[in-house]
């Protein structure tokens, strides 16, 4: 499915609700505005992207320092946080399941280590006080 953006001064300002440029009523807009409509088949292009008139390509925005760009949603998010596209309920449940499994393994290892240490102390006490 195509997207059509109105590109002004090299920036995609809004996406048309139409699936193809040909569906836009040319009588609704003056010719100068019709020239601003740029069509793309790339579903990963969003509003606020740049447009290079020379190469006729869309340019993904650059994330500021400390931030990342989510290609699937076209939004910025803080570095170190989950991307917005990764925050679906199924993905959150899966991450929590994995974290729970790791924590259970850590608890089991710490319990085993503590038991081994206690056994060593009992054995040493038996030797020292024998």
pTM: 0.52
Q: Contact, 4 vs 34, CB < 8 A?
A: no
Q: Which residues contact 47 (CB under 8 A, 6 or more apart)?
A: 5, 12, 13, 14, 15, 74
- Please, what sign has the CA dihedral across residues 107, 109, 114, 119? positive
Q: What is the pLDDT of residue 87?
A: 77
The 10s digit of each residue's pLDDT in 12-52 is: 887 765 555 556 666 777 777 777 888 887 778 888 889 99
Q: What is the pLDDT of residue 17?
A: 59
Take residue 37 and report the two structure tokens written for it. 């409509």
The 10s digit of each residue's pLDDT in 68-109 is: 999 888 889 999 888 888 878 888 888 889 999 999 999 999
């Amino acid at each position: 499915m195509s997207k059509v953006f109105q590109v002004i001064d090299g920036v995609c300002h809004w996406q048309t609700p139409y699936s193809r440029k040909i569906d836009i009523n040319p009588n609704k807009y003056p010719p100068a505005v019709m020239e601003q409509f740029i069509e793309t088949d790339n579903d990963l292009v969003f509003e606020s992207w740049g447009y290079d008139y020379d190469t006729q390509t869309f340019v993904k925005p650059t994330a500021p320092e400390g931030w990342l760009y989510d290609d699937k949603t076209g939004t910025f998010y803080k570095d170190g946080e989950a991307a917005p596209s990764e925050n679906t309920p199924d993905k959150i449940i899966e991450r929590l399941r994995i974290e729970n499994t790791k924590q259970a393994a850590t608890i089991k290892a710490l319990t085993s280590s503590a038991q081994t240490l206690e056994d060593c102390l009992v054995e040493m006490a038996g030797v020292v006080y024998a």
